Amino acid sequence: MRLIHTMPDIGAEAAGPSYSVVRLCKALNTLKQETTLALIGNADNTPFIESFSRGFGPQRLGCSPSMRRWLNQEITSCSVDIVHNHSLWMMPNVYPGWETKGTPIPYVVSPRGTLSQWAMRSGSSIKKIFWPLIQKPSIKHAACFHATAYSEYEDIRRMGFSQPVTLIPNGIDLPGFPESFKARADSERTLLFLGRLHPVKGIDHLLGAWRDLQNVFPEWRLRIVGPEGDGEYLRHLKSISAQFGLKRVAFDAPLYGDSKFEAYRAAELYVLPTHSENFGMTVAESLASGTPAVVSQGAPWQGLELKDAGWWPEIGEKSLAAALRNAMALPPDRLRSMGQNGRAWMEEEFAWSGVAKNMLDTYQWLLCRGDKPDHVIID
């Protein structure tokens, strides 16, 4: 089978779609499906990535006439079986819809969180024009949508799309781990946030909760790790920290590769107080590292409580503070036990081989080469 996946670009940090889409394509290639990922910008010499230069136009739109021409050639030559786009709101997310329209090639769309209510309300005012005139018409003919969680399936239906939805979570590469879950050597206990510093992540709620907890748990520190973007939001967070008189709070530079997983393993708790996530790769990374997590209901991680691997409070400062109070009061041995539960959960349900196989079964069904998989929802 010949597959083309598309996305705007891949960032420096191997997280979110920059990680999950690339890793999905790699796993499909491992299953001996000829998979190409088309994007703009630097591809780091990854063999299955086809990269294209930007053309004229606003930077945020990522216009690339060369990418569109290539897609047109591949599609009109009938050399591709499935075209699968990831994310919305940039021209590389529009071109595949334009080029597959009116062809027999099934078009699959993964919104990657871009259809959530928070995402649709936030961002540039250009969305109000771009959505009805360009983006929505380009995906109306999609044969199937892909959701990484049931909440994203609900977002797709709320936006009026009635096509089948294949419900497949992202996978995770399990990091190496010591033979046993050893106690942290540092007597100071660490609550970790690691991820993009952006208002959607709800870090202001975290700082507000820490104000209430810092004197109750003097043995704990809060570590906030992530890229600062243009620096404005980081300055805002530091201003809040000073205003609240917060203690034992560190704002650290982003971490990558092994250093990132060392940070997860060194922490006793991971926290993600987000307003909106379609999946939340950092949660999976934390659990794979053996660290339990406190994650707001803005992310689809209700399994944390079912698997005894963490907490899933409502969105908001008070709910977050209550969950953190319960978590931070637990002894280290109990948190390590919850970390073991999370690691086992990731091993069982989130291996990339299984994720890619489920996606391949979806493709085969769309091409009338197999029965409808159980993870495809039709209603």
295 and 358 together in one domain: no
Split into its structural domains, the chain has a count of 2
Residue 177 domain-assigned?
no
pTM over 0.75: yes
Confidence at residue 229, expressed as pLDDT on a 0 to 100 scale = 63
What are 161-179's pLDDT values in tens digits? 999 999 999 998 888 765 4
Local confidence band at 108 (pLDDT 50, 70, 90 cut-offs):
very high
CATH classification of the domain holding 236: 3.40.50.2000
145 and 217 together in one domain: no
Tell me the chain's radius of gyration from C-alpha atoms.
21
Show the domain range for 202: 189-349
Which among 342, 346, 312, 316 is positioned nearest to 326, based on CA atoms? 312
Confidence at residue 118, expressed as pLDDT on a 0 to 100 scale = 84
271 and 364 together in one domain: no
Cα–chain center distance at 361:
22
d(CA 136, CA 140): 6
Residue 240 domain-assigned?
yes
What are 169-223's pLDDT values in tens digits? 999 888 876 544 445 545 789 999 999 899 999 999 999 999 999 999 999 999 9
345 and 355 together in one domain: no
Fill in the amino acid letter for 241. Answer: S
Q: With 60 as the cut, is the pLDDT of residue 54 above it?
A: yes
